[in-house]
Amino acid sequence: MESHDHLFKVLIIGDCRVGKTSLVHRYVHEKFFKSYKSTVGVDFALKALAWSDTETVRLQLWDIAGQERFTSMTRIYYKGASGCVLMFDVTSISSFHSCQKWKEDLESKALLVDGNPIPCILLANKCDLSPWQVSKDDVETFSKTSGFIAWMEISVKDNRNITESLRILAENMMATQ
């Protein structure tokens, strides 16, 4: 049987300290390339998913390293991206509010060939902590009105909903490619 590889570039964005690098470390048990000297200031990691008997999905995860303060990235970073993970920290209301700016920046720079925005999943991280500074209703409303494919509460610390959320994004990218 012939095998098919699907390679997707996935952006991991969100404010500083929300858990982006931790997510990548948790999710990717295999290769992790640290490229501190990269001109665009990103780290790359690769995750392979056995999709079917004949298909492999490869996710190339782009973790912004230290550029979060801009809430805006250069076009080089967004170029060729197929999907996006936007993260906030449930104990930080400011990291949730920033998501609006992150999403707008994404939509102004990363579009599919048909002109639609690339699929983006909203992840509410650190759900192991309490109290939350954000209500689930507010997250639900924001997710719906801003065109996210879904939102999920996750905990990188407790390994909760990590593979599940990236699976949802991968399924969406496979459907829209």
Interface residues with Mg ion (CB under 5 A)? 20-21
The contacts found for 45-53 with CB under 8 angstroms, 24 or more apart, are 47/166, 49/167, 49/170, 51/6, 51/170, 51/174, 53/1
* Beta carbon of residue 146, minimum distance to ligand GDP (angstroms, whole number): 20
- Identity of the amino acid at 22: S
Query: Binding residue for ligand GDP (CB under 6 A) from 17, 34, 101, 136?
Result: 17
Cα(166)–Cα(147) distance, integer angstroms: 17
Of 52-60, 76-84, 120-128, 137-145, which segment contacts ligand GDP by CB under 6 A?
120-128
CB 24, min distance to Mg ion, A: 8
Tell me how many degrees the CA angle 111-113-101 measures, rounded to the nearest 5. Answer: 5
CB 119 within 8 A of CB 84: yes
- Look at phi and psi of residue 20 and say left if phi exceeds 0, alpha if psi is from -120 to 50, else beta: alpha
Closer Cβ to ligand GDP, 14 or 119, answer by number: 14
Cβ 96 vs Cβ 133: under 8 Å: yes
User: Do 43 and 65 touch, CB atoms closer than 8 A?
Assistant: yes
Q: Per-residue x/- mask for ligand GDP, residues 123 to 162, rule CB under 6 A?
A: --xx-xx-------------------------xxx-----
Shortest CB 118 distance to ligand GDP, Å: 20
> What is the rounded distance in angstroms from the CA atom of residue 158 to the CA atom of residue 62?
22
Cβ 69 to ligand GDP shortest distance, Å: 11
Nearer to ligand GDP, 11 or 156 (CB): 156
- What is the closest distance, in whole angstroms, from the C-beta atom of residue 169 to ligand GDP in the complex? 17
Stretch that binds ligand GDP, among 16-24, 28-36, 69-77, 165-173 (CB under 6 A): 16-24
> Closest CB to ligand GDP among 155 and 172?
155
Residues that bind ligand GDP (CB under 6 A): 16-22, 125-126, 128-129, 155-157
